[in-house]
Amino acid sequence: MNGSSEQDNVHDHSDPSHGAGLGFDTRAIHYAFDSAAFSRAVQPPVFLTSTYGFESVVANDAAAAQGGRLYAREYNPTTEILEQRLANLEGAEAGLVVSTGMAAFGTLILSLLSQGDELVVHKTLYSNTVAMVEHGLPRFGIKVVPVDLSEPSNLDAAITNRTKLVYFETPVNPLSAILDIAAIVERAHAHGVKVAVDSTFASPALQRPLEHGADIVLHSLTKYINGHGDTLGGALLGDAETLHTLHETGLRYITGATLSPHSAFLILRGLKTLSLRMERHSASALTIAQMLDEHPAVSWVSYPFLESHPDHVIARKQMAQGSGMLAFGLHAGFDGARTMLDHLKLLTRAVSLGDTDSLIYHPASITRARQTIRKDAHMVSGVGEDLVRLSVGLEDVNDLIADLRQALQVL
Ligand code: PLP
């Protein structure tokens, strides 16, 4: 299921890229780590240093001329292993990791777009990305054009000669809707515009947008890739030239949003079990989606690998499995969602996703709470007041089902 192209049982330690050509899981564990260079430590060391000494001023001149490995905002050996490993797993030439998924989005947009440029986005996005495109980017003269990309031909009217990038998530947060990567890329490329895909909900174990023609992939590493809910991180993966720009402008002096080396270590550790975890997340989520689909208190369920999902054919084309994210609505609506959540005993009421622990939340309740401090806070396009988002964790699926059933029973 993990999309390994070539399976080779021999790990060639003479190969400088340490794992190239091996299966996905082998590369998730070994790629880009040369233990011989680190006293044969089996796990990568964490380099906690803010700066690097240089042999001589002349040596420093040479290092600076080559981009330099002078200072920890721009370079760290632990972080570099993570960047190379993630790039390899996505099928990208290069990678950049930063402090959060939002920092990755900021680095991407503020490095590649300037005043007067236009950004086309899908109409539904993660709520903080929505806040940035609605409130942040227009302040800097970047025009954002929201479009319904479930119909890729809508791009034709949205793209102008100022459009620099098309950006969307698939699966879409929090709806678990699916957008057709290849179809959107075909339209965008016909107009000479690059495409960036936020693939956070799927992870490279289940979906690799570059294989469908996308130019750049964004991940919140906070979610499935780290997988244990104990650190934040973000990544951008793509061609070497673009990634050089993102590193040299975005990370070096625009956002400066460096990932801590300790977080890089934790994320490398999480990555080792990524496809095992995604298999269990996906299997349990499908079982729970089927249960909810038949439950009399539930009015609708959105899970990409359910036959009833409107985009399940596209999902099966571009994803190996359905992942652990699903959304559902209750006949009892807004109040019913609140009542049900408060009756859960095992599932954790929390935002975020992709952790070992099942996390469930009700976006409309959060929006209502936010409105008390920000009057203009509003629901993201396409998200109803009844929507409950569930990130299915790695607990025993029967325990999760029992908890959901007893909470639904009170409605
Ligand atoms: N993209 C998606 C799809 C997300 O769900 C999130 C966070 O929930 C982000 C980006 C932002 O990531 P972070 O929380 O690491 O900043």
Residues 100 and 244 in one domain: yes
Cα 233 to middle of ligand 1, angstroms? 9
pLDDT of 4 above 70: no
Does any domain span residue 41? no
pLDDT of 33 above 60: yes
Residues 218 and 168 in one domain: yes
Does any domain span residue 116? yes
pLDDT of 385 above 60: yes
Helix (H) or strand (E) holding 183: helix 181-190
Cα 299 to middle of ligand 1, angstroms? 27
**338 Ramachandran zone, left/alpha/beta (phi>0; psi -120 to 50):** alpha
Residue 361 pairs with which residues in a beta bridge? Answer: 389
Does any domain span residue 2? no
Average pLDDT, rounded, for the chain = 94
Does any domain span residue 46? no
| Pocket of ligand 1 contains residue 199 by CB under 6 Å | no
Does any domain span residue 310? yes
Going by alpha carbons, the residue nearest to atom 14 of ligand 1 is: 101
Q: What is the pLDDT of residues 127-156, one digit of tens each?
A: 999 999 999 999 999 999 999 999 999 999
pLDDT of 339 above 90: yes
pLDDT bin (cut points 50, 70, 90) of residue 68 is low
Range of the domain at 388: 274-408
pLDDT bin (cut points 50, 70, 90) of residue 375 is confident
Residues 410 and 341 sit within 8 Å (Cβ to Cβ): no
* Mean pLDDT calculated for residue range 177-198: 98
| Pocket of ligand 1 contains residue 171 by CB under 6 Å | no
**Taking each helix axis from N to C terminus, what angle separates 261-271 and 77-90, rounded to the nearest 10 degrees?**
40
Which of 271, 288, 319 delimits the end of a domain? 271
Task: Please give the sequence-ordered ranges of beta strands (E in DSSP) within 86-233, or none if there are none.
Answer: 94-98, 118-122, 143-147, 163-169, 194-198, 216-220
Residue 60 has what pLDDT? 76
Nearest to 101 by CA among 249, 224, 278: 224
Which of 218, 250, 271 delimits the end of a domain? 271
Residues 352 and 360 sit within 8 Å (Cβ to Cβ): no
pLDDT bin (cut points 50, 70, 90) of residue 66 is low
Residues 251 and 112 in one domain: yes
Residue 377 has what pLDDT? 87
| Pocket of ligand 1 contains residue 232 by CB under 6 Å | yes
Does any domain span residue 3? no
Helix (H) or strand (E) holding 325: strand 325-330
Task: For residue 190, give every residue at least 6 positions away whose Cβ sits within 8 Å of its Cβ, in sequence order, or none.
Answer: none
Q: What is the pLDDT of residues 214-249, one digit of tens each?
A: 999 999 999 999 999 999 999 999 999 999 999 999
Residues 124 and 200 in one domain: yes
CATH number for 187: 3.40.640.10
pLDDT bin (cut points 50, 70, 90) of residue 69 is confident
* Mean pLDDT calculated for residue range 107-118: 98
pLDDT bin (cut points 50, 70, 90) of residue 9 is very low
Q: Which residues are catalytic?
A: 73, 126, 198, 223
Cα 230 to middle of ligand 1, angstroms? 14
**How far is 64 from 253, CA to CA, in rounded Å?**
16
* Mean pLDDT calculated for residue range 332-350: 98
**How far is 224 from 86, CA to CA, in rounded Å?**
13
Residue 150 has what pLDDT? 98
Task: For residue 200, give every residue at least 6 positions away whose Cβ sits within 8 Å of its Cβ, in sequence order, or none.
Answer: 101, 126, 169, 173, 218, 219, 220, 223, 224, 354
CATH number for 360: 3.90.1150.10
Does any domain span residue 15? no
| Pocket of ligand 1 contains residue 198 by CB under 6 Å | yes
Residues 223 and 346 in one domain: no
Cα 352 to middle of ligand 1, angstroms? 8
Residue 65 has what pLDDT? 65
Number of domains in the chain: 2
- Give the predicted TM-score (pTM) of the model: 0.95
| Pocket of ligand 1 contains residue 102 by CB under 6 Å | yes
3-state SS string for 196-226: EEECCCCCCCCCCHHHHCCCEEEEECCCCCC
Q: What is the pLDDT of residues 92-112, one digit of tens each?
A: 999 999 999 999 999 999 999
| Neighbour tally for 111: CB within 10 Å | 21
Does any domain span residue 28? no
**How far is 264 from 242, CA to CA, in rounded Å?**
22
Question: Percentage of the chain surpassing pLDDT 90?
Answer: 88
Q: Collapsing DSSP states into helix, strand and coil, what is residue 239?
A: coil
